[in-house]
Amino acid sequence: LYRVGDIEKSEVSRIDVEQYKPYKAKKRYVIGKGLPDDLKEAWHGYTKITAHTSDETEFLIPKGPNRFHLVGGAKFIHGGAFLQEICIPVIQCKRIREDGQSPVKARKVEINVLTGNNVVKEPRYKITLLQTELLSEKILPRKVKVFFGDKDKNKITNEVSLTFDAETNNDPSCKQVAEFTFSNFATQQSKDFYLWVLDASDDRHVIQPMNYTISIYFQDEFGD
């Protein structure tokens, strides 16, 4: 930090720190041994207390805006044990809406299905799910379970569990692939099937059920 104005005499300590032959002497601290502990213009302490050293090394810090009288660079430090030198301020902010209502509550991240046509022609089928927003203080991770089933959620495929918790666009979890295997018996029972994407914690719809046409030919292993 640079001081534009001139340094007042009252801001410079009259202590001759060089006489104590310190290990290190700067304008706002002195480190050494045999340092006086009764000076009115400086704080005295031990590094074994502040820095957990194993010896009896001591230090002096000028009080208030003062600095020790050493050659050069007086305007480049503000000196002394000021609060801004030893503490890092932490400010907690709370946003309040203009209408006086409470701030928006945290919610789980939104996802979507990337799909071309909704026709399944092979026993093995893949779909891609995309996380549409990044995590933040108000956007939380979401775990889903995905499967194909009838209107009553009776499964005709395996169930796939996915967790969407991407914090950056380069995170692999932003875009995930789920692979399903269709049951021969199940697909013969009905033609109305749906892709179900449910929240793993409460079974609520993350995405509204998507209708799919199942057009799979299963070879009869016992036929001619």
pLDDT digit string (tens) for 25-79?
777 788 999 888 888 878 899 999 988 988 899 998 887 667 676 655 555 555 5
Q: Is residue 99 part of a domain?
A: no
Q: Is residue 220 part of a domain?
A: no
Say if residues 146 and 195 touch (Cβ distance below 8 Å). Answer: yes
Quick one: 205 and 129 in the same domain?
A: yes
Q: Look up the domain containing 79 and give its range.
A: 9-86
Quick one: 158 and 207 in the same domain?
A: yes
Range in 93-97, 118-122, 129-133, 192-196 with the lowest mean pLDDT: 93-97
State the Cα–Cα distance between residues 128 and 141, nearest whole angstrom.
Answer: 18
- Give me the number of domains the chain comprises: 2
Quick one: 111 and 210 in the same domain?
A: yes
Q: Is residue 4 part of a domain?
A: no
Say if residues 180 and 124 touch (Cβ distance below 8 Å). Answer: yes
Looking at every residue in the chain, the average pLDDT score rounds to 81
pLDDT digit string (tens) for 123-178?
999 999 999 999 998 999 999 999 999 889 999 999 999 999 999 988 888 999 99
Quick one: 140 and 207 in the same domain?
A: yes
Task: Name which of 136, 142, 133 is nearest 108 in CA terms.
Answer: 142
Quick one: 120 and 186 in the same domain?
A: yes
Quick one: 138 and 208 in the same domain?
A: yes
